[in-house]
Amino acid sequence: MAKNSQVQFLMEPIERQLGFAALVQQGNTLWLSGLISVNEKLEVVGKGDMAAQITQIYNLMETVLAMGGATLANVVNEVMYTTDLQALVAVAHVRTARYAKYAPPANTGVQVSALFLPDAMLEIQATAVLGD
């Protein structure tokens, strides 16, 4: 179990209510909880628009990574859960552009029947490592 000193919250009231933290850090490893395309009111951003959703998710991911002193350059692994694999493949260029300056991380993509919020089409969980 994570210690309180190891966790950081992005949307603290919601995360505490649901029993998770956006970021857990142990040593130089950062584990990010799955991120979906939401705003601060937990409303889905980009309903029906995979490009908008992946963009918002990477915006949130960069915020969470920064809380742990990291950037996308530190991401070593991602797991993507999507309700529409074809739509995700069609907007792969959005993800590729976010990693254009960095070595790409390992990645797994899985199609699922549903995500936490009904209009969410994509959830991305990431692991990052600080340092060389």
The pLDDT of residue 67:
97
| Residues ≥6 apart with Cβ < 8 Å to 72 | 58, 61, 62, 65, 98, 99, 102
> Domain residues for 99?
4-129
b/e per residue 94-123 (b: at least 16 CB within 10 A): bbeebbeeeeebeeeeeeeeebeeebbbbb
The pLDDT of residue 121:
98
Compute CA distances 8 → 16, 30, 39, 81, 100, whole Å.
Answer: 11, 10, 18, 23, 27
- Return per-residue pLDDT of the chain as tens, 132 residues: 678 889 999 999 999 999 999 999 999 999 999 999 999 999 999 999 999 999 999 999 999 999 999 999 999 999 999 999 999 999 999 999 999 999 999 999 999 999 999 999 999 999 999 986
Joined together, the tokens standing for residue 17 give 């209510």
- Which is nearest to 23 in space by CA: 63, 58, 56, 55? 63
Number of domains in the chain: 1
* CATH label of the domain that carries residue 49: 3.30.1330.40
- Give the whole-angstrom CA distance, residue 34 versus residue 23: 10
Lateral strand order in the sheet of 7-8: 7-8, 23-26, 29-36, 122-129, 75-82, 106-111
